[in-house]
Amino acid sequence: RPVPDLAALVVIDFEWTADKGRKMLPCCEIIQFPAVIVRFDGRHAPSTVLPDHFDTFVRPRFNPALTAFSKELCGISQDQVDVAPDLSEVLPQFLRWLEGLGLVTPDGEKDETSGRWCFATWSDADIGGTLVAQLEAYDMRLPACFSDWVDLKLLFRRHYKHGPSGGLKRCVEYLGLKFEGHAHNGLVDAQNTARLAAHMAQRS
């Protein structure tokens, strides 16, 4: 199967602080935290991207002034992050959103009474790289529900062996879909990744 046998995927695509040719120290920090749900069960079968989503800008601590590179790439302004909440506020908000959907318990554990689900990302950089490193730098605990995730980029390469090895936009278009919105906006990328996952599931 090109997509795992699950009831749902929670697709996330963070945007984070960056600069051209310079490493962000002590770590990259998330500046946009979006999530989109794809369901594969019941009336949503074979796959449906739900209209409800989570999305917020996040204020970085270590490098609060966005670089020109970040602003141009992501289309995020300094004013948007200046008034945004800190990750210590955003993460509990996100968990409450997931709890409202019946996906996590109040203590951040996965709730799979309505079916198995998993996070999904386009590469391991979002959770395995950026989120883990930032939480460690902030002395914050990684919620238990982030214990595993699906790398859709890897699944795409394994299933479509002769498909593009490039970025998300090229892969979406390879499937005959139109990439909708401005690339490198986190919510736009998450929505297009969710559409790609839904399309792959329909052909499994």
15-47 pLDDT per residue, tens: 999 999 999 999 999 999 999 999 999 999 999
Between 4 and 86, where is the model more confident? 86
- Does the annotation count 182 as an active-site position? no
- Whether 4 shows a pLDDT value over 80: the answer reads no
* Nearest one of 168, 117, 122, 187 to 146, comparing CA atoms: 117
52-85 pLDDT per residue, tens: 999 999 999 999 999 999 999 999 999 999 999 9
At 129, the pLDDT band (50, 70, 90 cuts) reads: very high
What's the confidence (pLDDT) of residue 83? 98
Which residue in 109, 112, 184, 199 is the catalytic one? 184
- Does the annotation count 15 as an active-site position? yes
At 1, the pLDDT band (50, 70, 90 cuts) reads: low
137-187 pLDDT per residue, tens: 999 999 999 999 999 999 999 888 888 877 999 999 999 999 999 899 999
Which residue in 15, 89, 112, 136 is the catalytic one? 15
At 203, the pLDDT band (50, 70, 90 cuts) reads: confident
Stretch 116-138: mean pLDDT: 97
b vs e for 20-52, b when ≥16 Cβ sit within 10 Å of the residue's Cβ? eeeebeebbbbbbbbbbbbbbbeebeebbbeee
91-121 pLDDT per residue, tens: 999 999 999 999 999 999 999 999 999 999 9
- Whether 2 shows a pLDDT value over 70: the answer reads no
Q: Does the predicted TM-score (pTM) go above 0.85? A: yes
